[in-house]
Structure 1
Amino acid sequence: MRGVPTAGAALMLCAATAGLLSAQGRPAPPEPPRFASWDEMNVLAHGLLQLGHGLREHVERTRGQLGALEQRLDACGAACQGSEASSEPSKTPESVVAPGGEAVPETLRSLQTQLKAQNSRIEQLFQKVAQQQRHLEKQHLRIQNLQSQVGLLNPTHLGNVVTKPAKRKRLPKMAHLGLEHNTTRLHRLPRDCQELFEEGERQSGLFQIQPQGSSPFLVNCKMTSDGGWTVIQRRQDGSVDFNRPWEAYKRGFGDPEGEFWLGLEKMHSITGDRGSRLAVQLEDWDGNAESLQFPVHLGGEDTAYSLQLTAPVASKLGATTITPSGLSLPFSTWDQDHDLRRDLNCAKSLSGGWWFGTCGHSNLNGQYFHSIPRQREQRKKGIFWKTWRGRYYPLQATTMLIQPTEAVAAS
């Protein structure tokens, strides 16, 4: 009968393999030490995984062979019991009596005992191999994770950062949002575009920021002589549908290099409890442009992200009922109506989500029209700013930017 590998033999094989790999990877004394390349680490991890899979397959195959052998021995035992039944059991010293009253030869009993012991050792080996395989798989995942993180610190990617400490890496595409939990930066991320400006950045583009108490996220920063502004909305070609529910406006949508809405929760995390300035840039179909700036305060979700405006600004926007402290406009969508009209859902009647007052003052998230519709009822669903071109003139392009005006407390 062919011998079966034991747990000790398998462990000796693993130790010998590890020793051989260690000996091959050890540098010669005269040479300076070096780190193994990622390819070598991947080959090593792959080889260890293959070894674990091979041992596991061998154990399972051996267990199957032992099971078949045990069945054959049981069949042989029954035949032997039949042949021994005609002899005198009392005169056979090397026999035992089976539970059924039939004699079982001592040789067969010894084989069965050895088989059970061998099966027990194989079971232990199988458990050890399975445990080792799980450990190797976890190590392999850790290697892949470390490889992806260290790859971000490659000198070819961070050359500009090394030579210019004030320069931060701009991320070109929306897909880079997957780096939100990037832990490989040498220092913390800026809280907003204004802080980025104060640290020396003067070029506009896409950057990662991390407001206090928030996870990192990607923003489009506009650097001007007034400081750093965060772009929170852009309309320019109708490529993105803005008629969306509350959760979409809360999270944000679109492409920060094209049409997009940053997201109410991100806007609130940038401003926090600080006062801010809101800049609104408008453009009509004749090439005329208008730029407005006014102080605002943006509340959290518990206030329906209310936009608080001072009394003079609220009057310019056409508000008729204003308290001494100004006007507070909650944000509304077609599925969450918070506007100031009790008899009408402005977001459902018009289009998109907005800080609606009485439906007729402004809506920069309305339906995009490539030409001015003839029907008045259709035009009022478009993008409009009443105090500039009127309610029934759908604008060609808009951009909204925000900038905190108060310093945040140091964390």
Structure 2
Amino acid sequence: MFFLQRGFVTIVTFSILILIYTDTVSCDSQQASENPSDELNSFVTVLAEYMLNHTDEVSSRFIKDEQTIKEVLQKQTELNKEINVHHTTTTNADEISTPRSCAEILPNLSAGNSGIYNITPLNMSPFEVFCLTDPKGGCGWTLVWRRNEINDDFNRTWAEYRNGFGELTDNFFIGLDKLYALTIAEPQQLRMGIKYGSNNWELDIFDEFVVGNVCTQYELVITNPQNKRRIFKRLNKRAHFFTKDLSSSSKNEECAKAMGMGWWYTDDCKNYLKSRVYYRYINSPTYMVIRPQSCDIKN
């Protein structure tokens, strides 16, 4: 780069001097020269002195500028390395320190209190969840569904059920996409409570709870319900999720319209559509919490 710059300076210098000389000759051509040889020698001498004085000066400036550019580029390279190291360290620290579920936040009863925490399931960005301590001292549970009363809060669209809605401390659904991420990352247990009548609660625990992705219409897989005395089957293995605005060949969206809520409906629901008892049962206050099977605590 330096040699190209120096060559460029030399060419420019020669060009300027030739123009100067041309103008001089043009201006002096009207006068006859008695000694052309002396005139040429004089011009060569002036040209040599000019090049010696000015070319070195310009080249010196280029050298200084080139050195400055090198120093700036070196500092920029060092700064980029520092930024990359800091970013990598921070990212790795976040990955190590951010819990994947409430079971890691509340591994036992003495680890903390129920409340709102951040978790980062596999392949997902962090998000807030409500964690509940286990009254028997086991791992904490992650709240995925809470309905405090019969109202229209759960009469939502397919998009809303996919993304989740509500408030963590009130009526709430975590969202089908997040539920899929949580259950696919690690085998989960499900604990479900349903209130019916004046103050009766039906409790159930499923040893396995898995929700498929959107391509399966969030197909449900459950095994080994511990409560064998359920009034109705709220959850059925291989059921698919339906909402009021989702068309299907099975027409199970009619159940979602009639019940006024999205759910894992099967053909069985159609047998109960005219049952007021079933309507109140399916819409009754409900909570659902999950935690990894690795907690291995039977309640």
TM-score tier by shorter-chain length is 0.5 to 0.7
1:223 Cα deviation from its structure 2 partner: 1.3
| 3-state SS in 2 of match to 1:78 | helix
1:204 Cα deviation from its structure 2 partner: 1.0
Partner amino acid for 2:237? Answer: L
| 3-state SS in 2 of match to 1:105 | helix
Matched, 1:232 2:148: no
How far apart, in 2, do the equivalents of 1:398 and 1:206 lie? 19
Gaps of 5+ in 1: 1-66, 97-102, 150-178, 320-325, 362-379
2:232 aligns with 316
Q: Which has the larger radius of gyration?
A: 2
Structure-to-structure mapping, 1:3-42, within 5 angstroms: none
1:355 Cα deviation from its structure 2 partner: 1.7
1:82 Cα deviation from its structure 2 partner: 1.1
Pairs aligned (count): 266
1:93 Cα deviation from its structure 2 partner: 3.4
Gaps of 5+ in 2: 1-8
Partner amino acid for 2:203? Answer: L
1:355 aligns with 264
**CA 1:110 to 1:346, structure 2 compared with 1: closer, same or farther past 3 Å?**
farther
| 3-state SS in 2 of match to 1:224 | coil
Matched, 1:293 2:204: yes
Q: CA RMSD in A?
A: 5.2
Structure-to-structure mapping, 1:3-402, within 5 angstroms: 78-84=19-25, 86=28, 88=36, 91-93=39-41, 95=43, 105-111=47-53, 113-114=55-56, 116-135=58-77, 137-138=79-80, 141=83, 182-183=94-95, 185=97, 189=99, 191-193=101-103, 196-198=106-108, 200-201=110-111, 203-209=113-119, 217-226=127-136, 227=138, 228-235=140-147, 243-246=156-159, 249-250=161-162, 252-253=164-165, 255-272=167-184, 274=187, 276-282=189-195, 288=199, 290-295=201-206, 297-301=209-213, 303-309=216-222, 316-317=232-233, 327-333=237-243, 342-343=250-251, 345-346=253-254, 349=257, 353-358=262-267, 360=269, 387=278, 389=280, 398-402=286-290
1:137 Cα deviation from its structure 2 partner: 4.9
How far apart, in 2, do the equivalents of 1:196 and 1:126 lie? 57
Higher relative contact order (CA 8 A, sep 6+): 2
**CA 1:353 to 1:388, structure 2 compared with 1: closer, same or farther past 3 Å?**
closer
Percent identity of the aligned residues? 19
Partner amino acid for 1:354? Answer: W
Partner amino acid for 1:387? Answer: Y
Higher strand share: 2
| 3-state SS in 2 of match to 1:106 | helix
TM-score (norm 2): 0.59
Instruction: Note if contact 2:118-2:127 (Cα within 8 Å) is conserved in structure 1.
Output: yes
Partner amino acid for 1:278? Answer: R
How far apart, in 2, do the equivalents of 1:283 and 1:314 lie? 11
Partner amino acid for 2:239? Answer: L
How far apart, in 2, do the equivalents of 1:400 and 1:330 lie? 17
How far apart, in 1, do the equivalents of 2:66 and 2:255 lie? 67
How far apart, in 2, do the equivalents of 1:280 and 1:180 lie? 38
1:62 aligns with none
Partner amino acid for 2:41? Answer: P
